[in-house]
Amino acid sequence: MGISALKRYTSRLQKHRALYVLTLAQSNNNTPLIQIEHATVMRGDHPGLKDFNLKIAQGESLAILGPNGAGKTTLLKLIGREIYPLVKPETKVEICGEEHLDIRHYRRRIGIISQDLQAGYEPATPGLEVVISGFFDSISLWQHHNIKDSQIETAKVTMALLGVEHLQDMPYGSLSTGQQRRLLLARALVHQPDTLILDEPTTGMDIKAAFQYLQLVEKLISQGVAIILVTHHLHEIPESMNRLVLIKHGVSVFDGKKADALTDDHLSDLFDTPIQLIVKNGIYQAYPGEQ
């Protein structure tokens, strides 16, 4: 990809960010990006979320941490409008202040990179097609999609910015987990969203790929992209991220500052096992605590 194309894309991205920040500054509307109140979501015969509450401001980055089965996937599907809560008078689920948000507008504001999305593509799908499909909020491309030259250019430039331009003709199934995740990140970024939701982003990656991906996440935060990280891995939480929500058995058990959330006692209770925390270079790691 040529330098001029990269400059054009970067210029568009900067203008988009500046317009977004200006709009927020000029508006008296403090509508949260996500507001969930008293939501109970059933998964089969059991509640995946129970009387759940969560409020996330526009432009805010945070991590949602919990063990397997805590309700993290249910929460992601609720935010992504894949499932809905039980209808109760006190229940509210709003995205950008709307209960029924147009999905096209939604994807321009929030990009979601989930485990389900990663598993959804056919192995033979070329890398460029994966990224372009983000314009249509679809898995792969279909005959009815009218692909514009500008969309192809934006997809290629976004891939170049993430260092995966060489994957444009590679079959999706032949790529490593880290390469697939970068393609899906490019897929989300073609809309230049204000917020990205990342679901356990380094699962299946080797150490080098995980470090590179997390450095990329930190770079996006520094450039003004809000990150909502959903994980059970402490090392995935960026150093610059200061708010943590801890969930267990479908309930939010803590919502506050990272330094207050990540303690031996809190994590031992959250994961039902003794845990000792060690922090190095702003990154937390868990070790077995004393029984």
pLDDT digits (tens, 9 = 90+) for 249-277: 999 999 999 999 999 999 999 999 999 99
Residue type, 8: R
Q: Chain-wide mean pLDDT for the chain?
A: 88
In a domain, 210, yes or no: yes
In a domain, 95, yes or no: no
In a domain, 17, yes or no: no
In a domain, 146, yes or no: yes
List the CATH number of the domain containing 202.
3.40.50.300
In a domain, 40, yes or no: no
Q: So what's the pLDDT on residue 115? A: 87
User: Domain of 176?
Assistant: 58-80+102-288
In a domain, 257, yes or no: yes
Please check the confidence at residue 1 and state whether its pLDDT lies above 60: no
pLDDT digits (tens, 9 = 90+) for 103-135: 666 767 889 999 889 999 999 999 999 999 999
In a domain, 31, yes or no: no
The domain tally of the chain equals 1
Q: Cα–Cα distance between 173 and 274 in angstroms, integer?
A: 39
In a domain, 16, yes or no: no
Q: Model's pTM, two decimal places?
A: 0.87
Q: So what's the pLDDT on residue 4? A: 55
pLDDT digits (tens, 9 = 90+) for 134-154: 998 888 888 888 899 999 999
Please check the confidence at residue 22 and state whether its pLDDT lies above 60: no
